A and B are shown apart, each in its own frame.
Chain A
Amino acid sequence: MRLDKYLPYALLLPSLIWIIMIIGYPLIYNIWLSFHKSTYGIELGPFIGFDNYIKIFLTDDVFWGDFINTVIWTVGNLFFQTVIGLGGALLLNQAIRGREWIRGLVILPWVIPTVVVSLVWRWILEPDLGILNNILHYLKLITQPLVYLGSPSLAMLSIIMINTWRFSPFAIVLILAGMQTIPRDVYESAKIDGASPVATFRYITFPLLSPILTFVGFIAFVWAFNMFDLIWLTTEGGPGNITETLPVLVFRRAFKEYRMGQAAAITTFMFLFLLAFSFLLIKRRRG
């Protein structure tokens, strides 16, 4: 009996230690690091208080620009992913033959490794060899090949669309599952009352879906805000700084310019920003 009391702790202990060492402790250590002078490697530089923060907030010439890029990138993703997610879910919720099959196929982009995703799209968007320009040219929509990832005007939109291609299936499936939890008789009584499809969506589907939409939006927000690999593998933050978001800046500062302290200050800022956002969201939902 006494053994039973400790058994659950014993079973969880290895996982908890592992997680605390690799996720919990680094989270704190990162904050500690941000108060130290930048060094590369194992040695911690001298304690310098808020100097790293003052530097990034006041004198850094790219930080605020990258912050704005991050906002554009995140909002763009949030918008397209929820809109396409909702639209796709409405479509796949229809009584169509082969629906299960279609659902299984639509999820594919979501499981493909990021390197492959970025490659697929670099290949499609290639200005001279890519199929997209070829199709647009064939349809006589363009006369000159468009440059997507390499042009200041199209780069951000292009990577937002790539990321939407990748993550909207996830939104579709979650929203679809949410739709199926809505009881059927709600729709039937709406029909008896003579509600139009638009009104049904507006007053029944949408409000009942709002918890799941919030969840999907929250995940889309967190993942887009922190996205590094897809951006790095498609544009590396370029051309210029157009697509450089904060995670890309962190990577560059830490592993290309070896300014660890400053990079740690940026990640601490990002973490606090995310935390504040999550609290606001939870408060709004509870209140």
Chain B
Amino acid sequence: MMKITNLRAKIIIIISLAVLLVFYLFPIYWIFASSFKPIEEIMTANPRLFPAKPTLKHYGDLFNPEAIYGGWERGGKFFLFFVNNSLFVSIFTTLISTLLASLGGYALSRFKFKGSEIISRSMLLIYLMPGALLMIPIYEIIARLNLLDTHVSLIIVYVAFITPFGIWLLRSFFDAIPIELEEAALVDGASKLKAFSNVLLPLARPGILTVAVYAFVVSWGEYLFASILIFSDFKKTIAPGLAMYMGYQYIEWGSLLAGSVIVMIPVIILFIPLAKHFLRELMTGAIKF
């Protein structure tokens, strides 16, 4: 850390920081602000920084059954379905991958066995594995399992992509908890699994929460697999669902802006408190790499 002594240097730094913040945050503010504007304020070449006559109309439209069915011919408007479907997929993905990651992370942290190091390392590599490379074979496998156009197919795929990172993150989380605590429980006659669930798991709560939030955030916004594995409009999750409003001929900016805000809110609320843990774990990985 460098100490700033020079006043001029300090001013330059503050101005650059302001530019940086505007660059990252203005676009997010702008979509919030625009989503509350009436349509006349949206469809103008001279937009104002704040909505002059704020309205909730676009939000209402998204959830209004009239608007939902009335918009059928324009690609269908099923926003409530999209939210529901995404909630279903994300919640199950989160539960399953968090459970699998806890067990796997525990195994890798507390037992030294043949292949444990290799498994640990490959978990990080699989985290970097791009989904785009696997879209064709995964599509074929899901087709063969007869699971195309089902939400189960998405859960299966998401769990596979999320669990490796979860295992790896929880492994290092468990590593940081002294083993003596469990040993004490073992001396008292508890079984290994009991020591795990009664002693280790409660201590690792922040780590487990981090994995859960990661799983939720990833599955909530995923686009590629959601768009190739699901065809029926009413089964779509929120990412391909929202993309349906982006037709090329006619873009319904009002609904789109409001929809984006609704998609964004849970992610921001869930992620921000945990960002610190998440990034710290990623950082340890970066050093070990």
Which residues of A come within 8 Å of B, CB atoms? Answer: 4, 7-9, 11-12, 14-16, 18-19, 21-23, 25-27, 29-30, 33, 41-42, 88, 91-96, 102, 104-109, 111-116, 119-124, 128-129, 131, 133-134, 165, 169, 173-174, 177-178, 181, 184, 187, 197, 200, 211-212, 215-216, 219, 222-223, 225-229, 232-233, 247, 250-251, 254-255, 260, 263-264, 267, 270-271, 274
Q: Is the CB of A111 within 8 A of B268?
A: yes
Q: Is the CB of B136 within 8 A of A250?
A: yes
Q: Is the CB of A115 within 8 A of B221?
A: yes
Shortest Cβ distance from B240 into A: residue: A115
Q: Is the CB of B256 within 8 A of A119?
A: yes
Known: A19-B164, A233-B223. 15 other contacts (CB 8 A): A14-B103, A18-B160, A26-B137, A42-B143, A113-B221, A114-B239, A115-B221, A116-B31, A134-B45, A165-B24, A178-B286, A197-B2, A226-B133, A233-B246, A267-B132
Provide 5 A-B residue pairs closer than 8 Å at the C-beta atoms, listed in order of the A residue.
A26-B137, A27-B133, A131-B47, A165-B23, A254-B139
Q: Which of A23, A96, A233 contacts B129 (CB 8 A)?
A: A23
In the complex, B76 has a CB within 8 A of chain A: no
Q: Is the CB of B143 within 8 A of A41?
A: yes
- Chain A proximity of B250: nearest CB distance (Å): 14
- Chain A proximity of B276: nearest CB distance (Å): 8
Q: Is the CB of B134 within 8 A of A12?
A: no
Which residues of B come within 8 Å of A, CB atoms? Answer: 1-4, 13-14, 16-17, 20-21, 23-25, 27-28, 30-31, 34, 42-47, 100-101, 103-104, 106-108, 110-111, 113, 116, 119, 126, 128-141, 143-144, 156-157, 159-161, 163-164, 167, 192, 217, 220-224, 228, 238-240, 242-243, 246, 253, 256-257, 260, 263-264, 267-268, 271-272, 275-276, 279-280, 282-283, 286-287, 289
- Chain A proximity of B127: nearest CB distance (Å): 10
Across-interface contacts of A104 in B (CB, < 8 A): 272, 275-276
Q: Is the CB of B106 within 8 A of A19?
A: no
Q: Is the CB of A119 within 8 A of B13?
A: no
Q: Is the CB of B34 within 8 A of A27?
A: no
Q: Is the CB of B137 within 8 A of A264?
A: yes
Across-interface contacts of B100 in A (CB, < 8 A): 14-15, 18
Q: Is the CB of A111 within 8 A of B271?
A: yes
Shortest Cβ distance from B13 into A: residue: A94
Q: Which of A26, A93, A108, A123 contacts B253 (CB 8 A)?
A: A123
Shortest Cβ distance from A236 into B: residue: B248
Shortest Cβ distance from B44 into A: residue: A129
Across-interface contacts of A15 in B (CB, < 8 A): 100-101, 103-104, 163-164, 167
Bound CA–CA A107/B217 (angstroms):
14
Q: Is the CB of A263 within 8 A of B136?
A: yes
Q: Is the CB of A91 within 8 A of B13?
A: yes
Q: Is the CB of A11 within 8 A of B104?
A: yes
Across-interface contacts of A255 in B (CB, < 8 A): 135, 139, 228
Across-interface contacts of A25 in B (CB, < 8 A): 137, 141
Q: Which of A22, A254, A274 contacts B135 (CB 8 A)?
A: A254
Bound CA–CA A15/B127 (angstroms):
14
Q: Which of B135, B144, B246, B253 has the most CB of A within 10 A?
A: B135
Across-interface contacts of B136 in A (CB, < 8 A): 30, 33, 250, 254, 260, 263-264, 267
Across-interface contacts of A30 in B (CB, < 8 A): 133-134, 136-137
